[in-house]
Amino acid sequence: MPALELRGLTKRYDDGTVALRDFDLVIPDGAFFGLLGPNGAGKTTLISAVCNLIRITAGEVRVFGEPGDSLLARSWVGLAEQDINLDRFLTVRETLVYHGGYFGMTKREAEERAAEMIRVFDLEAKADVRAPRLSGGQKRRLQLARALMHRPRLVILDEPTAGVDFELRLELWRYIRKLHENGTTILLTTHYLEEAEELCDEIALIRGGRLLARDTADGLRERYDADSLAEVYVKAMGMETTAA
């Protein structure tokens, strides 16, 4: 059973913008899958469709075989959004416990899991501090911990390392890798090609709401007759490489 199946997915926003066109994608259970594409390619729209945050215009979304708009599918997905969106009135611990409650955990379960997440993400010293008092890196870690609270089978990370320093990027990679090793399927969007290359076992290139190619990094290099993923990207996206 694939972790994610998109069939003929189309999204037209109210103003007429078509962000996804007849998009097909199957992501196997246990994959570490990367989505690469320029600004406006449709990555966030795709994620929003998978998480049932937007109404799709046509097509089908299935999460581990269940319709994407079912409660079960929703409970299997953990989303760490691109922008930090933490509740400013909640402490680290409360943020996690509330999220667990939202996904149907008992208070006790949620408290235990929150304590575990606080430990794993090195937030012990800040457990009773409210979100606005956290550093940028601590906010990122909390956002990731929150996405993992309810033990989702599919974790979606929308540019998790955008604007973070080198050290935190390595730290986040370590967490994400460990999660993947434990059997969680990961869907990652990033603008950092080296990040996709380092982490993902398969990569999809998307532009203008369409899937251009999908392969391993090696497979993509071969297909585009390129030495690096950067060269693949430039060729696939039809960018000019030489100054005229």
Ligand X SMILES: Nc1ncnc2c1ncn2[C@@H]1O[C@H](COP(=O)(O)OP(=O)(O)OP(=O)(O)O)[C@@H](O)[C@H]1O
CA distance 144 to 138: 10
CB of 46 to ligand X, least distance (A): 7
Residue choice 17, 106, 135, 216 for contact with ligand X (CB under 6 A): 17
Question: Which is it for strands 185-189 and 32-36: parallel, antiparallel or unpaired?
Answer: parallel
Query: 24-63 mask for ligand X (x: CB under 6 A)?
Result: -------------x-xxxxxxx------------------
Cβ proximity of 25 and 4 under 8 Å? yes
* Residue 15 binding ligand X, by CB under 6 A: yes
Cβ partners under 8 Å of residue 117, min gap 6: 96, 123, 145, 146, 148, 149
Query: If binding means CB under 6 A, how many residues of this protein chain bind ligand X?
Result: 12
* Residue 187 binding ligand X, by CB under 6 A: no
Kind and range of the H or E element at 32? strand 32-36
Specify the 3-state DSSP secondary structure of 49. helix
Cβ proximity to ligand X, 13 vs 89, nearer residue: 13
Q: Which stretch in 11-19, 64-72, 106-114, 141-149 sits in contact with ligand X by CB under 6 A?
A: 11-19
* Residue 161 binding ligand X, by CB under 6 A: no
Cβ proximity of 238 and 213 under 8 Å? no
Cβ proximity to ligand X, 13 vs 102, nearer residue: 13
CB of 8 to ligand X, least distance (A): 17
Q: Which two tokens stand for residue 101?
A: 């409650």
**Site residues, ligand X (CB under 6 A):** 13, 15, 17, 19, 37, 39-45
